Amino acid sequence: MTAPTLRARLAKGEKIFAAWMGAAYPRMAEALGRAGFDAVIVDLQHGEASFGEARDAISAAHLAGTPTGVRVGLDGFGDAARLYDVGAEFAILPMINSVADARRLVDTLKYPPVGGRSWGGTRAISLFGAETEAYRGAANDQLIALAMIETRQAADALEDILDVPGLDGVFVGPSDLSISLSNGARLDHQLPESVEVINRVLAAAKARNKLTAIYCGNGEAAARNAELGFDIMGIGSDWAFLTAGAQAALKAARGHAGPAGPNY
């Protein structure tokens, strides 16, 4: 099985900087991959993509040689398994607040004997260029299942969640974490209570050899979190990248006429 390869890169200690994609336009995933991101994360919880658009985004990113992750919607366990079937290499499940939630995640996304995932990954097998038995035998180790830690309940149950067999790691959602920890008063990634929980997540996950991931609003935040020790950084959003690029081009156009030359 020549792919997926993201797990192997993480095993070597690589930091994965992943573009966050909310658009319902599959070719955006290819563009982000060709821009140099290590991975693309398609957001089905707060983004606009349907299952079919996410499926096509995974294929489009594959053209750029870029692995794709997905964040599914609330109670989207079955959607995550289907997106594995069409080629996603990692899945992020939101609002995992208890051991029971984490066990359901593993049961849905891992094949026996670890979980109870049912068979049907024909599109993934085609994308990865794998033999059927090679895919089936490698999937539990190669495909990454991440539980979002984004509430006070999840923080309170953190160590027990991490100890669930088959769970590959955790993904910190700093926005919802700050809202939950402040009882709805603040959305603040630097909320002291949130910073304390984030540091505890890192320490507890590393002690158990689990993967750590986090959402970052921009590249500077991603660099800081990589330095802290996170493995996967989801960065910004496709719309933010598009807006920033458009604003920069317009500012340059309006700021000066440019050098003399042909008008093209």
Task: State the DSSP code for 85.
Answer: H
Tell me the C-alpha distance between 97 and 180, whole Å. Answer: 12
- Could you tell me the CA-to-CA distances from 193 to 85, 175, 183, 203 in Å, in that order? 38, 12, 11, 16
Q: How far is CA 222 from the centre of its chain?
A: 13
What are the Cα distances from residue 205, in Å, to 6, 189, 229, 249, 251? Answer: 19, 20, 11, 42, 44
Q: What whole-number distance in Å separates Cα of residue 100 and Cα of residue 121? A: 26
Dihedral pair phi/psi, residue 145, rounded to 5°: -110, 120
Interacting residues of 10 by C-beta distance below 8 A, sequence separation 6+: 16, 211, 231, 232
In the numeric block, which tokens belong to residue 3? 């792919």
Q: How many CB atoms lie within 10 A of CB 26?
A: 20
32/183 Cα distance (integer angstroms): 36
Annotated active-site residue 189? The verdict is no
Q: Which residues are catalytic?
A: 46
